[in-house]
């Protein structure tokens, strides 16, 4: 990459119930990511043992990196500053690539228990949490945060961002929706621009990036070159690689434009990723649980790849790994050729 080209970072988002260590492994080996963040680890009443952090992030046993070498930051969720600080100090003993604080989860159960986005009406509390965690963690370990724009409105978005900065975070990811917005489009990218202008630390934009064109539009509106990719990265497992190739003026492995997936996509590469994912899932969960994991991912890819839709429909009624494997291999046989 030429030194004159603009630099940017792409981060794989924490997605509860979806982006576990297996999917992180498969997606980061596809390429394009600078780091990723785990699903949140809920901190509610006690200091968790090391095994609780390693269970969510086995990468801690590999210098906090995926097999591709992508750094993995550990995300904590809670509302008690002292308890979060104590857990941050505990996970810091495992030398994570970073510690991230979740102020964005919109799940009702989490919010009823004062977690995630439910705290966005309390910038003073956000400040105390971050200050306590930062003080408990060695300076060499980055402490970052992810926030939404508010609970029902954006009235306190700037106050929250400033409180997090003042508490000592080094970078801020902003999901451009309120808790009430859920995941409904459009993302309010213009608010990320306002937050970026109101604080001095780096801001990473998040929300509604499904294509290379979306990334460019988001970058234009927010002024943020750095982006966190969530559901778009799951729907198109090659999205980060496409964005990086396009922004660097390169071509994909087939010699076509890097957004060629919109006209059919590089199914051979994706199919190989699916087979790898399926192999790993079977080793991790019980035989009756693994088909659900596979169908969950295929379901998200259906709108991007016609072939994923075909495979999903073929597997939809199957309930065990023994039933799924021969059908999956039949549909994806070409990738073994």
In angstroms, the CA 2 to CA 7 distance is 10
Paired with 175 in beta bridges are 206
Give backbone dihedrals phi and psi of 329, rounded to 5 degrees, phi first. Answer: -65, -35
Q: Annotated catalytic sites, by residue?
A: 105
Helices (H), the chain: 21-30, 50-56, 81-92, 108-112, 123-136, 157-167, 189-198, 212-222, 231-235, 239-247, 267-284, 290-301, 306-315, 321-331
Cβ within 8 Å of residue 65, ≥6 positions away:
59, 71, 72, 97
Assign 228 to helix, strand or coil. Answer: strand
Residue keyed to tokens 């904590």: 76
Residue from 241, 246, 196 nearest 221 by CA:
196
Bridge partners (DSSP) of residue 103 are 147
Place of tokens 């072939």: 307
- Cα–Cα distance between 193 and 203 in angstroms, integer? 9
Distance CA 16, CA 235 (A): 15
């Amino acid at each position: 990459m030429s030194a004159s080209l603009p630099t940017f970072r792409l981060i794989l988002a924490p997605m509860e119930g979806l982006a576990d260590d297996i999917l992180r492994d498969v997606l980061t080996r596809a390429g394009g990511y600078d780091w990723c963040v785990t699903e949140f680890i809920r901190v509610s009443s006690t200091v968790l043992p090391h095994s609780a952090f390693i269970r969510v992030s086995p990468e801690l046993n590999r210098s906090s990196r995926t097999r591709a070498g992508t750094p993995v930051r550990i995300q904590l969720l809670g509302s008690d500053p002292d308890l979060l600080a104590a857990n941050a100090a505990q996970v810091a003993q495992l030398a994570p690539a970073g510690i991230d604080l979740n102020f964005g989860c919109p799940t009702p159960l989490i919010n009823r228990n004062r977690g995630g986005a439910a705290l966005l009406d309390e910038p003073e509390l956000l400040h105390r949490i971050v200050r306590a965690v930062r003080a408990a963690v060695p300076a060499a370990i980055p402490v970052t945060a992810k926030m939404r724009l508010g609970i029902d409105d954006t009235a306190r978005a700037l106050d929250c961002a400033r409180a997090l900065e003042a508490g000592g975070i080094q970078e801020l990811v902003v999901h451009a929706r309120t808790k009430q917005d859920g995941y409904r489009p459009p993302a309010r990218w213009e608010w990320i621009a306002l937050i970026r202008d109101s604080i001095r630390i780096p801001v990473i934009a998040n929300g509604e990036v499904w294509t290379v064109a979306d990334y460019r539009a988001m970058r234009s509106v927010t002024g943020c070159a750095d982006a966190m990719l969530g559901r778009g990265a799951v729907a198109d497992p090659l999205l980060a690689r496409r964005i990086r190739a396009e922004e660097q003026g390169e071509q994909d492995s087939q010699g076509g434009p890097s957004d060629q997936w919109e006209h059919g996509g590089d199914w051979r590469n994706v199919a190989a990723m699916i087979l790898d994912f399926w192999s790993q899932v079977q080793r991790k969960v019980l035989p009756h649980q693994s088909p659900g994991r596979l169908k969950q991912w295929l379901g998200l890819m259906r709108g991007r790849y016609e072939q994923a839709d075909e495979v999903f429909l073929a597997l939809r009624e199957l309930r065990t790994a023994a039933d799924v494997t021969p059908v999956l291999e039949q549909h994806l046989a070409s990738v073994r050729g």
